[in-house]
Amino acid sequence: MAFWDQLKAKTTEMSSQLKTKTDQFRNKEFANASMAMCALIAAADGSIDPSERQKTAALIMSNDVLSVFPPEELREKFDWYCSKLESDFDFGKVEATATIAKLKAKQDQARAVIQIGIIIGGADGFFDDHEKAAVRGAAHAVGINPAEFDL
């Protein structure tokens, strides 16, 4: 239970920090990378079942951090990345990771996308090993040491 309390406290802290920063990140590249990260979390175990996809989409729509973007645009982009992952997981993963990697030169935005992955991954109360691996992969793609996020 202590781990869950620690994870919950950490994600709450990340959310409040991100809410302040995200307003500065109002750009298509950040929105796309955020949705690519969310799709990678939804597909972290290698597949996306409809309830998981719907649950992740609901988390995206209710997330304060992402509220600076039009919800329908986020939903369309999330669905697009999910479809790529569903049709060919390996290729979809490469494409989603490449989208996140575009933020490598913008480290503040890259860190924010990593934090979004952690928040979405832990939103159900369990940040599993597959989700952690997806976030670690994204961190490596943008040149950030995953240990910075205790991954």
Give pTM, 2 decimals: 0.83
Q: How far apart are CA 16 and CA 36, in angstroms?
A: 21
- What are the CA-CA distances from residue 14 to residues 96, 133, 143 (Å)? 22, 19, 20
pLDDT digits (tens, 9 = 90+) for 6-43: 555 655 665 556 555 555 667 899 999 999 999 999 99
- Domain residue extents for the chain: 9-17+26-149
pLDDT digits (tens, 9 = 90+) for 114-129: 989 998 888 777 889 9
First CA to last CA distance, the chain:
19
Domain 9-17+26-149 CATH (choose: 1.10.3680, 1.10.530, 3.40.50, 2.60.40): 1.10.3680
